[in-house]
Amino acid sequence: MAAMLQSFGVSSASVAFSDHSAKLSVRSLPVIRSEARSISCPTNGTRCTRKITTKAVAVENPASAASKPGHELLLFEALREGLEEEMERDPRVCVMGEDVGHYGGSYKVTKGLADKYGDLRVLDTPIAENSFTGMAIGAAMTGLRPIIEGMNMGFLLLAFNQISDNCGMLHYTSGGQFTIPTVIRGPGGVGRQLGAEHSQRLESYFQSIPGIQMVACSTPYNAKGLMKAAIRSENPVVLFEHVLLYNLKERIPDEEYVLSLEEAEMVRPGEHVTILTYSRMRYHVMQAAKTLVNKGFDPEVIDIRSLKPFDLYTIGNSVKKTHRVVIVEECMRTGGIGASLTAAINENFHDYLDAPIVCLSSQDVPTPYAGTLEEWTVVQPAQIVAAVEQLCQ
């Protein structure tokens, strides 16, 4: 474990500033919650975070590649790896969705699995989201552990009835008799000119549903870990992936690991301001962080990962340290995850804030097709820099 931490410290992961050593929560037999929550941060931060990468994608040094532990893969492959490991481990785990079988998934997350496990374990469904989601729930109630894929998360709006009433509430209304260990996953978020309906952020619509957990993955490492954790959880979990992150490359451990569904991820420790983000916005934040560091700021970046429930411990500790919060999200301004997070922080950590929380969200606008307009609907790094500068003056 220690050796692994060392090697990650100097990892040249293409994901800039990602610091896995800060939080390595490995669940072997018992769940081990990460003890190494906060790396002691001297004024200049730790060794791994002071590296200023000029390129967005780090170049792998071929000479050192062979000696590095772990293996490199893309985010969608990491999801598949996690999924496959769980299917191998437990024959009750199955996948249902449109084009998950023979087609291998619209983003290739399930590629090859139908050949290996058969058409019943990797089930190609007709286009009937509400019904096949309900079917997965019925299967979960009777002993299976299905993973429902929404070809695009937006399509799951059609399954809102089943997700809210049966996925979320059935455990309660049955007095605890039936569990619904399903995972609902799929790509969402604003892509590249996909149009309004394919660019939705369902996390804001689902967040009020009692009885579900929501997580968002952002790196190959946490994608695999969260996928496995979600599958093993007895609760229904919605795993949000992002259309633009599937081709991120990273080196991940060969050893098996499972992450905690409820914990946030410390991406870059800092002193001046807490920036809370998740999914794709993490990368806009890290890009802004580069600029900020050059300007002399020291932002602490946390990928909240768990959208419901919030990890108020990690977030709280950060707020207590920096006293300033910027939330950067892709949800719309109204009723988004940022809105809930703002409320939660205000409620719990009001005394520690030196300034009002700044929440940067997407415009309350259906995502336009035109590239320029689309760019202006989501938060861009320049806006993040400006917000931090303003907040910290």
Handedness of CA 168, 173, 175, 180 (dihedral sign): negative
For the segment 312-331, give every residue that binds other proteins (CB under 8 A): 312-314, 316
Respond yes or no: is residue 272 known to be catalytic. no
Number of chain positions touching other proteins (CB under 8 A): 59
Nearer residue to other proteins within complex by CB, 69 or 138: 138
Using the rule CB under 8 A, give the single segment among 53-61, 100-108, 230-238, 378-386 that binds other proteins. 230-238
Candidates 77, 81, 171, 198; catalytic one: 198
CB nearer to other proteins: pick between 4 and 261: 261
Binding status of residue 238 toward other proteins by CB under 8 A: no
Q: How many angstroms separate the CA atoms of 36 and 6, rounded?
A: 14
Burial class, 257, CB count within 10 angstroms (exposed 0-12 / middle 13-18 / buried 19+): buried
At position 189, the amino acid (one-letter code) is: G
- Report DSSP letters for 302-360, one per residue: EE--EEES--HHHHHHHHHHH--EEEEEEEESTTSHHHHHHHHHHHHHGGG-SSPPEEE
For residue 295, the 8-state DSSP code is T
Binding residue (CB under 8 A) for other proteins from 310, 330, 338, 342: 310
Q: Residue 84: exposed, middle, or buried by beta-carbon count in 10 A (0-12, 13-18, 19+)?
A: middle
CA dist., res. 389 & res. 393, Å (int)? 6
* Cross-strand pairs, 308: 214
Tokens of 244: 């633009």
Adjacent-strand bridge partners of 273: 299
In angstroms, what is the minimal distance from the CB of 312 to other proteins? 5
| First-residue to last-residue Cα distance in the chain | 41
Q: Binding segment for other proteins among 15-23, 68-76, 128-136, 384-392 (CB under 8 A)?
A: 128-136
Which of 149, 311, 329, 374 contacts other proteins by CB under 8 A? 311
Task: Encode 135-161: b = buried (16+ Cβ within 10 Å), e = exposed.
Answer: bbbbbbbeebbbbbbbbbbbbbbbbbe
User: At its nearest, how many Å lie between other proteins and the CB of residue 376?
Assistant: 34
Question: Per-residue string for binding with other proteins, 349-378, x by CB under 8 A?
Answer: x-----------------------------
The nearer residue to other proteins, 75 or 96, going by C-beta atoms, is 96
Find the binding residues for other proteins in span 150-179 (CB under 8 A): 161-162, 165-166, 170-179
Q: Kindly tell me which of 64 and 173 has the beta carbon lying closer to other proteins.
A: 173
One DSSP character per residue, 344-373 reads HHHHHHGGG-SSPPEEEEE-SSPPPSSHHH
Q: Does 144 bind other proteins (CB under 8 A)?
A: yes
Amino acid letter at 341?
A: L
Of residues 141 and 248, the one with the C-beta less far from other proteins = 141
Collapsing DSSP states into helix, strand and coil, what is residue 26? Answer: coil
128 touches other proteins (CB under 8 A): yes
Does residue 181 bind other proteins (CB under 8 A)? yes
Min CB(153)–other proteins separation in Å: 19
Interface with other proteins (CB under 8 A): 91, 94, 118, 120-121, 125-126, 128, 130-144, 161-162, 165-166, 170-181, 210-211, 213, 233-235, 261-263, 306, 308-314, 316, 348-349
Residues known to be catalytic = 129, 198
